[in-house]
């Protein structure tokens, strides 16, 4: 079958079979979209916090806290780096998934045999997704390190609780 025969040759059952084969990676695309939603929401909060800290430093609101704010900005910058990488690689995975769906559909429709190409595309999808998730994990790890309660506050709470 040639591409020009597309509108006359494929039967409805051939089209349905091609769609069924191509639809499986769509679930992976939906999951990748959900991951992107989480990561971009976190990035938005990071940007908002960085802007707030920069405004506090510029306004000179509390000179005692300026060093702490600058330290937090460095951590936020690191989180942004990992978050941006996570978004990039998850988006790349989504693009590869779309290409995989199109490839599988066309191969199913026109009867092509390119199992190696499909396998390569799937490996690219998983590699990009793994890299994106690894960067997301790094961002979360950096964030949780920042969010630890300082010892001075923990010991004060314990002392107050004992009174």
Q: What DSSP string runs through 116-128?
A: HHHHHHHHHHHHH
Residue 4 has pLDDT above 80, yes or no: no
Q: What is the pLDDT of residues 77-86, one digit of tens each?
A: 999 999 999 9
What pLDDT score was predicted for residue 150?
Answer: 63
Classify residue 139: in a domain, yes or no. yes
Q: What is the pLDDT of residues 8-67, one digit of tens each?
A: 566 677 677 667 766 778 888 999 999 999 999 999 999 999 999 898 888 876 767 778
What pLDDT score was predicted for residue 97?
Answer: 93
- Model confidence band, residue 157 (pLDDT cutoffs 50, 70, 90): low
Classify residue 33: in a domain, yes or no. yes
Q: What is the DSSP string of 20-57?
A: HHHHHHHHHHHHHHHHHHHHHHHHHHHHHHHHHHHHHH
Classify residue 6: in a domain, yes or no. no
Q: How many domains does the chain have?
A: 1
Residue 94 has pLDDT above 90, yes or no: yes
Give the separation between CA 8 and CA 13, rounded to whole angstroms: 13
Rounded to two decimals, what is the model's pTM? 0.75
Classify residue 41: in a domain, yes or no. yes
Classify residue 135: in a domain, yes or no. yes
Evaluate whether 25 touches 100 at the Cβ level (below 8 Å).
yes
Residue 130 has pLDDT above 60, yes or no: yes
What pLDDT score was predicted for residue 10?
Answer: 62
Residue 93 has pLDDT above 60, yes or no: yes
Evaluate whether 76 touches 46 at the Cβ level (below 8 Å).
yes
Classify residue 5: in a domain, yes or no. no
Classify residue 157: in a domain, yes or no. no
- Out of 46-55, 117-126, 151-160, which region has the weakest mean confidence (pLDDT)? 151-160
What pLDDT score was predicted for residue 64?
Answer: 74
Q: Which domain holds residue 110?
A: 14-150
- Model confidence band, residue 152 (pLDDT cutoffs 50, 70, 90): low
Give the separation between CA 15 and CA 24, rounded to whole angstroms: 15
- Enter the tokens of residue 93: 């995975």
Bigger pLDDT: 108 vs 52: 52
């Amino acid at each position: 079958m040639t591409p020009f025969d597309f509108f006359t040759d494929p039967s409805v059952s051939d089209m349905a079979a091609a769609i069924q084969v191509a639809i499986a990676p769509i679930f992976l695309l939906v999951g990748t979209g959900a991951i992107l939603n989480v990561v971009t929401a976190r990035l938005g909060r990071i940007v908002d916090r960085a802007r707030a800290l920069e405004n506090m430093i510029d306004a000179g609101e509390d000179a005692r806290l300026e060093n702490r704010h600058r330290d937090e900005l460095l951590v936020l910058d690191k989180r942004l780096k990992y978050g941006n990488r996570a978004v990039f690689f998850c988006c790349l995975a989504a693009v590869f998934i779309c290409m995989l769906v199109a490839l599988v559909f066309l191969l199913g429709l026109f009867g092509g045999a390119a199992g190696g190409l499909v396998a390569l595309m799937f490996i690219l999808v998983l590699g990009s997704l793994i890299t994106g998730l690894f960067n997301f994990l790094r961002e979360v790890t950096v964030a949780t390190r920042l969010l630890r309660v300082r010892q001075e506050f923990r010991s004060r709470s314990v002392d107050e609780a004992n009174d």
